[in-house]
Amino acid sequence: MTAPVHHPASRSLGLPRMLLRLHRPALCIWVVLVLAVSALLLWLDGPLTDAAAEAWRQYHACGVTPRCSYNQAAILRYKDMENYSTFAVLAVPLVVAAWAGASLTGRELESGTATLAWTQGVSPARWLAVKLTVPAVAVAAGTGLLVLLHHLMWSASHGRIDTIKSWNDTPTFYANGPVLVALALVGLAAGALAGLAWRRSLAALATAVLAVSLVWAALYAVLPHLWPTVTSITGLDDGNGLAGDGITVGEGFLTSTGARHPMAVDCGPYAYDPECRTVYNKLHATGFYHEYHPISHYWPLQLTAAALVLAVAGALTVTAFRLLPARTR
């Protein structure tokens, strides 16, 4: 009687099944989380937006009429739910990083489960590749769905609800585009690397969350410089301050030589005040400049930032594979 033959292909297919079985509770929680936030965003996109838009229509119809009634509760409800949903979407990269650091690799190295898998005909490299690929698909799909629904909800409210955030509002900008999906993948890669480095769940969890936070902070600092800016110039006598709306990169006043300088303290971009006009005359100012990103730069900034963050995720992944041999000795 011959022993059954286990082909490499069957082992390759069995590893993802084993991974899904091992992390089934986390997968179920992830699905429930995505569905719950998606339901909230769909509720915002439909009934809540309609009710708040009607309340704002009533409010504007009141004019200066005293004791005019409008549905203030609908306006406040929409504002609260919009804030809750935005921050729920923004929390995804940190949640992914915490799970990946605590459970994906760190716990298995800590408990010895990974070593057992390596003795069953699964190479460490294949083990790590599956460990990263299967969750990456789930993370990218779930986060992408939330970002899409948030963007649709935000777009549906423009021109209808006065309290809707501008496109360049920082939380709205990140929750509305693919850069958040890239940050979630950074969380996954950072968690896997931290688990390999520390081989302890709690230490890897804290390290992964800190790593994502640092990447996010660095991205916030460099994002305005990822795409060429637009510059608008206004004269001292215009009286309207700076021209142009968007993500501000720089502002100040111009001199007769064309040199740029920071705004005068306590005056800002306004020269109609006699004291400020005297200050700007002494500085030989001829006008004000505003260097910024208009709304037309939204997608260039999103895509460039997402590509940069994906490069970071790739670097973390490569580092994890380079560290793996040291953990298999």
CA distances (Å), origin 307, targets 87, 112, 151, 186, 302: 23, 36, 19, 12, 9
The model's pTM is 0.89
Domain residue ranges in the chain = 12-225+307-328, 230-297
Contact between 245 and 266 under an 8 Å Cβ cutoff? The reply is no
Which pLDDT belongs to residue 329? 66
Q: Give the pLDDT of residue 111.
A: 76
Within 158-297, where are the H helices?
170-175, 179-198, 201-222, 274-282
DSSP 8-state class, residue 229: -
What is the reported pLDDT for 180? 98
Average pLDDT per 10 consecutive residues for the chain, totaling 329 residues: 45 68 88 97 94 91 78 93 96 96 86 74 86 94 98 92 93 97 98 93 95 98 96 83 89 90 84 85 90 96 98 97 83
Q: What is the pLDDT of residue 67?
A: 73
Q: What is the pLDDT of residue 115?
A: 73
- Give the CA angle between residues 131, 136, 138 to the nearest 5°: 110
Residue 277's pLDDT is 87
Nearest-angstrom CA–CA distance, 227 and 300: 7
Which of 269, 283, 282 is closest to 237 using CA atoms? 269
Q: Is 6 left (phi over 0), alpha (psi -120 to 50) or beta?
A: beta
d(CA 219, CA 178): 14
What is the rounded distance in angstroms from the CA atom of residue 6 to the CA atom of residue 12? Answer: 10
Whether 104 contacts 191, CB under 8 Å: yes
**Amino acid found at 200:** R
Q: What is the pLDDT of residue 6?
A: 46
